[in-house]
């Protein structure tokens, strides 16, 4: 069975959930915490960019997809703001961990909402061939974004 856009997105969603869990368990004053945060930051950014281009943008072309796409874009923006805020705060402090918990909660909320609501709305608007093509485009752009952000 061919890979579709939802299969591709769920892979990144699972990585995001795992990185959030590991980050919240990471000990303060360690390179591991910094590495996990960096991995999560890159994963979120690469995923969001590719997802916005190859799922949200096509759904925005449909009247029935406007509200859900706008809401999802807004949540991506909120995640970006939390990550940006976390980059300027001492990663060993309690304030940083409070922000990490907020980020994790927001990531989990967004992923759950996307998988239980947005995927259903968009699934009705996209054809099977389009879902397969979007998966290829998403994977290519996601990989390119990861390479770019890792440099």
pLDDT in tens, 61-105: 999 999 999 999 999 999 999 999 999 888 777 889 999 999 999
Question: In the block, which residue shows the tokens 């967004």?
Answer: 110
Domain that holds residue 28: 5-150
> How far apart, in whole angstroms, are the C-alpha atoms of residue 100 and residue 14?
17
Q: Please tell me the pTM assigned to this model.
A: 0.95
> Is the confidence at residue 106, as pLDDT, over 70?
yes
Question: Number of structural domains, the chain?
Answer: 1
pLDDT in tens, 20-52: 999 999 998 889 999 999 999 999 999 999 999
Q: What is the SS3 assignment for 93-129?
A: CHHHHHHHHHHHHHHHHHHHHHHHHHHHHHHHHCCHH
> How far apart, in whole angstroms, are the C-alpha atoms of residue 115 and residue 111?
6
> Is the confidence at residue 1, as pLDDT, over 70?
no
Classified as helix, coil or strand, 27 is coil
pLDDT for residue 93? 76
């Amino acid at each position: 069975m061919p890979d579709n856009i939802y299969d591709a997105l769920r892979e990144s969603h699972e990585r995001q959930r795992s990185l959030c869990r590991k980050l919240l368990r990471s000990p303060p004053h360690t390179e591991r915490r910094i590495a996990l945060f960096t991995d999560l930051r890159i994963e979120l950014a690469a995923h969001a960019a590719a997802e916005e281009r190859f799922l949200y943008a096509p759904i925005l072309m449909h009247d029935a997809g406007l509200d859900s796409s706008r809401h999802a874009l807004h949540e991506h923006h909120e995640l970006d703001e939390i990550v940006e805020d976390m980059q300027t705060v001492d990663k060993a402090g309690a304030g940083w961990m409070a922000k990490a918990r907020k980020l994790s909660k927001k990531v989990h909320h967004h992923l759950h909402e996307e998988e239980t609501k947005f995927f259903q709305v968009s699934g009705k608007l996209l054809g099977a061939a389009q879902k397969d093509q979007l998966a290829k485009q998403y994977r290519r752009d996601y990989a390119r974004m990861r390479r770019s952000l890792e440099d």
